[in-house]
Amino acid sequence: MHIKKLRIDPNWQSRLESIGYGYHSLGGVPYWVDDYYYEIRAKDADMIYKATNELWNMCLQAVEYVIQHKLYSKFHIPAYMIHHIERSWENDDPSIYGRFDFAFDPSDGELKMLEFNADTPTSLFETGIVQWNWKNHYFPELTDQFNSIHEQLIESWKGLQPFLKGDILHFSCAKETLEDLTNVEYLRDTAIQAGINTKLVYIDDIGWDGRAFVDLEGEEIKSIFKLYPWEWMVREDFGFNIVNDSSEAQWIEPSWKMLLSNKAILPILWELFPNHPYLLASYFEKPSHLKHYVRKPILSREGANIEMYYDNEMIFDTEGEYGEEGYVYQELATLHREDTGFSIIGSWVIGQESCGISFRESDMPITTDKSRFIPHIIRH
pLDDT in tens, 195-243: 999 999 999 999 999 999 999 999 999 999 999 999 999 988 888 899 9
Inside any domain, residue 148:
yes
Is 291 found in the same domain as 351? no
Query: Is the model's pLDDT at 366 over the cut of 70?
Result: yes
Is 314 found in the same domain as 203? no
pTM: 0.94
Inside any domain, residue 38:
yes
Is 288 found in the same domain as 344? no
Are 347 and 100 a contacting pair, CB within 8 Å? yes
Is 304 found in the same domain as 200? no
Q: Nearest 5°: CA angle at 337, between 334 and 341?
A: 125
Query: Is the model's pLDDT at 55 over the cut of 90?
Result: yes
Is 217 found in the same domain as 308? no
Inside any domain, residue 268:
no
Nearest to 302 by CA among 371, 358, 368: 368
**Distance between CA atoms of residues 25 and 209, nearest Å:** 41
Map residue 128 onto helix, strand or coil: helix
**Distance between CA atoms of residues 288 and 375, nearest Å:** 40
- Structural domain boundaries, residue 198: 2-262+335-378
- On the question of a cis peptide bond just before residue 253, with omega within 30 degrees of 0, the verdict is yes
Residue with the larger pLDDT of the pair 43 and 29:
43
Strand pairing class (250-252; 223-227) = parallel
- The string of pLDDT tens digits covering residues 81-129 is 999 999 999 999 989 999 999 999 887 888 999 999 999 888 899 999 9
Is 319 found in the same domain as 207? no
pLDDT band at 323 (very low <50, low <70, confident <90, very high): low
Is 181 found in the same domain as 144? yes
The pLDDT value given to residue 179 = 85
- Other C-beta atoms lying within 10 Å of the C-beta of residue 140: 8
Inside any domain, residue 123:
yes
**Distance between CA atoms of residues 100 and 121, nearest Å:** 9
Residue 330 phi/psi, 5° resolution?
Answer: -125, 135
Output the DSSP codes for 76-113.
T--GGGHHHHHHHHHTT----EEEEEEEEETTTTEEEE
Is 357 found in the same domain as 327? no
Inside any domain, residue 273:
no
Rounded mean pLDDT, 137-161: 92
Q: For the chain, what is the mean pLDDT?
A: 92
pLDDT band at 176 (very low <50, low <70, confident <90, very high): confident
Is 239 found in the same domain as 101? yes
- The string of pLDDT tens digits covering residues 274-293 is 999 999 999 999 889 999 99
Is 81 found in the same domain as 12? yes
In the chain, the number of structural domains is: 2
Sign of the CA dihedral with 362 first, then 364, 367, and 368 last = negative
Is 326 found in the same domain as 195? no
Amino acid present at 355: C
Nearest to 12 by CA among 33, 26, 29: 33
- 158 backbone φψ class: left, alpha, beta (φ>0; ψ -120 to 50): alpha
Inside any domain, residue 276:
no
Is 51 found in the same domain as 130? yes
Q: How far is CA 145 from the centre of its chain?
A: 20
- Using the 8-state DSSP alphabet, how is residue 205 labeled? G
Q: Which long-range contacts (CB under 8 A, 24 or more apart) does 70-73 make?
A: 71/268
Inside any domain, residue 292:
yes
Q: Show the DSSP H helices in the chain as ranges.
A: 12-17, 42-69, 82-90, 124-125, 131-138, 149-160, 178-193, 230-233, 237-244, 265-272
Nearest to 360 by CA among 379, 375, 343: 343
Distances (CA, A) of 122 to 114, 187, 207: 16, 11, 25
Nearest to 353 by CA among 97, 88, 64: 97
- Using the 8-state DSSP alphabet, how is residue 8 labeled? P
Inside any domain, residue 324:
yes
